[in-house]
Amino acid sequence: MAVWLAGQVGATGQVVATDVDTRYLSRLEFPNLEVVEHNILDDPLDVLRPGSFDLVCSRLMLFHLKGRQEQAIRQMAVCLRPGGWLLDEDADWGTAAPVDPAHPLYDDYQRVWRDGGWWVRRGYDKAFGQKLPALFERCGLQDIRNEASTEVVRGGSLWARWWIPTLEVINELGGGDEASRRELEVMTTALADPTLWLQRELLHACWGRRGRDSP
């Protein structure tokens, strides 16, 4: 996203990319891209020049800030100039599952997946993405819109190969006991099978504008 935005704003624009760990961002060398190590929840906003941004965006980040998403949205909104836009992309992860009940791997996958309850047991909201408009509104943003998209793909596809390590990381963060590892093996085996069709997560894009009369 940082590279794409730097290309969009051109030589006269500026992009500021932040993260709590900038080891990958720091490798980027673009004259209009500034990299700042920053925690949106805990660090002062002064370094980000509050009230100066035409656009603030985040992608697949709020989902991880369990119980503090609204605080993060408020902090990002403060960085906007009056009339500026906040954009966030986050997902409903509970939708990511096989779609063909006739497939021999379908039942075992659904048994451990529990309609997305696999995420809930690890402390996550499986339907977080659809709640973004309400969070944006509570944070004072206006002209809010939300769009969502998904697709059905094969096991072994690029998405499935990305999804496997994603589940592995979340599983380890959630404790990673022996029972959990057995469940994970059921899902990763299915995800590697090109004869299995799966629906991806439902990815929401939500955007809203800071009022022009905001302080």
Is residue 27 assigned to a domain? no
One-letter amino acid of 63: F
Residue 213 has pLDDT above 90, yes or no: no
Query: Is 25 within 8 Å of 8 (Cβ atoms)?
Result: no
Is residue 9 assigned to a domain? no
pLDDT at residue number 176: 72
pLDDT at residue number 175: 74
Is residue 202 assigned to a domain? yes
Q: CB neighbours (10 Å) of residue 177? A: 10
CATH number, domain with residue 168: 3.40.50.150
- For the chain, give the secondary structure using H, E and C: CHHHHHHHHCCCCCEEEEECCCCCHHHCCCCCEEEEECCCCCCCCHHHCCCCEEEEEEECCHHHCCCCHHHHHHHHHHCEEEEEEEEEEEEEHHHCEECCCCCCCHHHHHHHHHHHHHHHCCCCCCCCHHHHHHHHHHCCCEEEEEEEECCEEECCCHHHHHHHHHHHHHHHHCCCCHHHHHHHHHHHHHHCCCCCEEECCEEEEEEEECCCCCC
Is residue 7 assigned to a domain? no
Domain that holds residue 46: 38-209
Is residue 170 assigned to a domain? yes
pLDDT at residue number 215: 61
pLDDT tens-digit series, residues 77-98: 999 999 999 999 999 999 999 9
Is residue 11 assigned to a domain? no
pLDDT at residue number 214: 64
pLDDT at residue number 177: 84
Burial class (CB in 10 A: 0-12, 13-18, 19+), 85: middle
Percent of the chain having pLDDT more than 90?
Answer: 90
- For range 113-128, the mean pLDDT: 92
Is residue 18 assigned to a domain? no
pLDDT at residue number 212: 83
In total, how many domains does the chain have? 1
One-letter amino acid of 28: L
